[in-house]
């Protein structure tokens, strides 16, 4: 059986790891290189790095920081933020990333998904879907959650998969940072609507929340930030707990 993945996320602003609630109230969470090293030691399956203000500030991802982190870790490394062209993707992969995460750029120019997938393979392209529940619909947002689109989350995930994305990183903005649990309904809908892996993100607060999202949806990965950064849920303890729940994980 496919092992479920536990994935810490480094949201980066001004070269530091930060964490907010519902994409707001950002606070410092430490040095990203030190955190990355710690997560490798703790047994994280992958690491995601999101330069959360690159698109808003109209600049490229922090390549030097990507290189620093990549040189310190030996687990799959996904990088996103400010990647708007195939050249941008190439620069990030050359800096040591294994996968590229696309969000706003893919919404504005969906063919970018196909261009990067053709060049590097589908497994290198992660479509990040930031979504919010509004008027009985899960609607997609872009630009760090600041701009609403007319896309529906499930349909956009399906379109992304058709265009060549090898994975979906699905973040519920309603749940983000709340520690009240993952958004099970949209995680279930999206993970059942596509045949590629889906990472559920937003809302992890307890070990039980991870068990829930794995048991009640087809998500193959669960991503979290603050509960890992601030030591509320140590990754080794989480994996031992999931094992007791008969959820397959790499120990």
**Could you give the CA distance from residue 195 to residue 210 in angstroms, rounded to a whole number?**
21
Joined together, the tokens standing for residue 227 give 């509960």
Tell me the C-alpha distance between 181 and 215, whole Å.
Answer: 13
In the chain, what is the straight-line distance between the N-terminal and C-terminal CA atoms, in Å? 15
Alpha-carbon distance values, 15 to 35, 79, 81, 241 (Å) = 13, 14, 13, 33
64's CB contacts (< 8 A; 6+ apart) are none
What angle (nearest 5°) sits at the alpha carbon of residue 248, between those of residues 246 and 250?
A: 135
CA distances to 82, 216, 237 from 192, rounded to whole Å, are 29, 11, 29
**3-state SS class at 85:** coil
DSSP E strands, 166-234: 167-172, 198-201, 221-224
Q: Which are the catalytic amino acids?
A: 11, 130
> Which residues lie below 8 Å from residue 240, measured CB to CB, with a gap of 6+?
251
- For the record, the structure tokens of 178 come out as 């709340």
């Amino acid at each position: 059986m496919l092992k479920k993945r536990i994935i810490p996320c480094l949201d980066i602003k001004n070269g530091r790891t930060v964490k907010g609630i519902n994409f707001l109230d950002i606070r410092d969470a430490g040095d990203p290189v030190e955190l990355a090293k710690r997560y490798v030691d703790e047994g994280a399956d992958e690491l995601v790095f999101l330069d959360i203000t690159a698109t808003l500030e109209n600049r490229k991802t922090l390549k030097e920081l990507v290189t620093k982190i990549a040189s310190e870790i030996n687990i799959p490394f996904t990088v996103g933020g400010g990647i708007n062209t195939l050249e941008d993707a190439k620069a990030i992969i050359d800096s040591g990333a294994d996968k590229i995460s696309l969000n706003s750029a893919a919404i504005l120019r969906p063919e970018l998904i196909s261009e990067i997938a053709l060049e590097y393979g589908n497994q290198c392209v992660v479509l990040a879907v930031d979504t919010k529940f509004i008027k009985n619909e899960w609607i997609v947002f872009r630009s760090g959650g600041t701009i609403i689109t007319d896309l529906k989350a499930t349909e956009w995930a399906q379109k992304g998969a058709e265009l060549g994305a090898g994975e979906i990183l699905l973040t519920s903005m309603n749940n983000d940072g709340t520690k009240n649990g993952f958004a099970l309904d949209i995680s279930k809908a999206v993970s059942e609507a596509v045949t590629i892996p889906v990472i559920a993100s937003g809302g992890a607060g307890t070990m039980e929340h991870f068990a829930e999202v794995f048991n009640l949806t087809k998500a193959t990965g669960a991503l979290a930030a603050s509960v890992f950064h601030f030591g509320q849920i140590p990754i080794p303890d989480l994996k031992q707990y999931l094992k007791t729940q008969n959820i397959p994980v790499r120990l």
